[in-house]
Amino acid sequence: MASEAQPTAADTFKCPVCNGNVSTGPDDVVITCGYCGSTTTIEGKAIGEHLMETAVDKDERLKHFRDFLDKNKGINKGLVDGAQVVENSLIFVPVWTAKVKADSWYKGYKTVQVPVEKTEYYTDSEGNRKRRTVTEYKTGYVPVQDEIHTDTDERLLARKGARFYGLEQYLDEIDLGKTQQYNFELIKDMNPTMLNAEIGQDEFETTVHGRVADRHRAQAKSGLAELFDCRTKTNVRGSTYLQAPFSLIRYKFQGDLYKAALNGRTGDVVLGEIPITKGQRILWTLVGIIGTVVAGAGAEIARLGYFADMMTYLAGGAIGAVVGVVLAIFGFKTLLMTQREKTG
C-alpha cells in the first residue's frame, strides 16, 4: 500500500488578502488561503500564471465510486450495498507545468562487426594442399556525433513529503487541455483541502532541466557502446502553477477499511482496493486444490505416454499439467490476499 502523510503545521501565514491565519508546513513556499482562496508565495508575492481544474461534487464522486464497486464486485454480490463510506474528501494538489525545449549534442562510439578476409590452406579429399580465402568478423569501433531535439510538456508535483494512495496514477491523468484560470469561487462550497506547494518556480525549472537532460543522455547512450560527452541546453517557458482536484474515498466492508483514489475533475476511480471475502478465499482454495490434482494427473498421464510412445497421451498430459499448475498458482495466491487492487 502507498504511504500517506499529512503536512505538519509548523507555523501560520497571514493571508495578505483577507488577513486570515493559514496553517503552513515547514517547507511551504506557495500558500493558498483556505478562506478566500488567494494564492501567494510565502513572502506574500503574487505568483504568475495560475490555472485549475474544476471538480465534481461529493454526490457525483460517490456515484462513480459505487459504479466502480459494481463493476469489480465479481461474485461478491453484497459489496455495493455493504460498503460503508467513511470519508469522501476533495484535495487540490499543486502541480507545476511548463513547456521545455531541449537541444543536446553528444559524442561517443558504437561497435560494428567488420569483415576481415584472410587466406588459409587446407587439404582436399584427394590429399592435395590448396589455398582459399575466408571471411571473419571482428569488432570495430565507429565514432558517433549526433544531436537530439525535443519540445515537451513537463509537470511536477510541487510537494516533497505528502503522498496519498493513487496520487501518482492520478497525476498521469491530468489533462492540461481541460484547465482554466484559477477561480476559487467555483470550488469553495465543496470545502476542499488546498495543499500548499513545497517546491517553488525556480526549483521546478531547475528540476525539469535535469530531468530532460537525463532523458536525453539515456537516449543518446542507448545506441552507443560508450558515451563520451553529452551537453544539453534547455529553454523552460510558460511555467504555470496548476491546482488539480484529487479525491480519496475510504470505506468499510465487513469490519475492514479500504480506499479508492478518484480523479476529482471527472469523478472516475483511478485506483481502488476491492475486498476479498472469506467465501471467495474458500472458493479459490478449492480452485488451487483442483489445480494441484489436475497438475499431478496430467504429469502422470504425460509420463505414461512418454514411456509407451503414445504422443496423444503425452501431449494431453502435458497440457493438463500446465493448466493445473496455473490454477493452483492463482488459487493459492488469492488465498493469501485480503484485497485486490483495480484500476478504474
Claim to verify: residue 168 and residue 230 sit in the same structural domain = yes
**Where on the phi/psi map is residue 76: left (φ > 0), alpha (ψ -120 to 50), or beta?**
beta
Structure pTM? 0.73
* Per-residue pLDDT at 83: 93
Alpha-carbon distance values, 268 to 109, 239, 243 (Å): 49, 28, 18
Q: Which of 275, 299, 318 is the last residue of a domain?
A: 275
* Per-residue pLDDT at 320: 67
Claim to verify: residue 266 and residue 283 sit in the same structural domain = no
Q: Is residue 241 part of a domain?
A: yes
Q: Is residue 174 part of a domain?
A: yes
Which domain range does residue 285 map to? 279-343
Claim to verify: residue 163 and residue 61 sit in the same structural domain = yes
Q: Is residue 163 part of a domain?
A: yes
Q: Which of 225, 250, 275 is the last residue of a domain?
A: 275
Q: Is residue 127 part of a domain?
A: no
Claim to verify: residue 312 and residue 228 sit in the same structural domain = no
Burial class (CB in 10 A: 0-12, 13-18, 19+), 52: buried
* Per-residue pLDDT at 109: 94
Claim to verify: residue 37 and residue 181 sit in the same structural domain = yes
Q: Is residue 177 part of a domain?
A: yes
Report the number of distinct structural domains present in the chain. 2
Question: Cα(242)–Cα(262) distance, rounded to whole angstroms?
Answer: 18
* Per-residue pLDDT at 251: 96
pLDDT one digit per residue (tens) for the chain, 344 residues? 333 434 444 588 888 889 889 888 889 999 999 889 899 998 888 888 899 999 999 999 999 999 999 999 887 888 999 999 999 999 999 999 999 999 999 999 998 888 888 888 888 877 888 888 888 888 888 999 999 999 999 999 999 876 789 998 998 888 888 899 999 999 999 999 999 999 999 999 999 999 999 999 999 999 899 998 999 999 999 999 999 999 999 999 988 899 999 999 999 999 999 887 666 666 656 666 776 776 677 677 766 766 666 677 667 666 766 776 666 665 556 555 566 788 87
Q: Which of 275, 302, 334 is the last residue of a domain?
A: 275
Q: Is residue 125 part of a domain?
A: no
Claim to verify: residue 90 and residue 164 sit in the same structural domain = yes
* Per-residue pLDDT at 331: 56
Q: Is residue 337 part of a domain?
A: yes
Question: Cα(324)–Cα(336) distance, rounded to whole angstroms?
Answer: 19
Backbone φ, ψ for residue 161 (5° rounding): -110, -50
Claim to verify: residue 87 and residue 171 sit in the same structural domain = yes
Claim to verify: residue 271 and residue 298 sit in the same structural domain = no
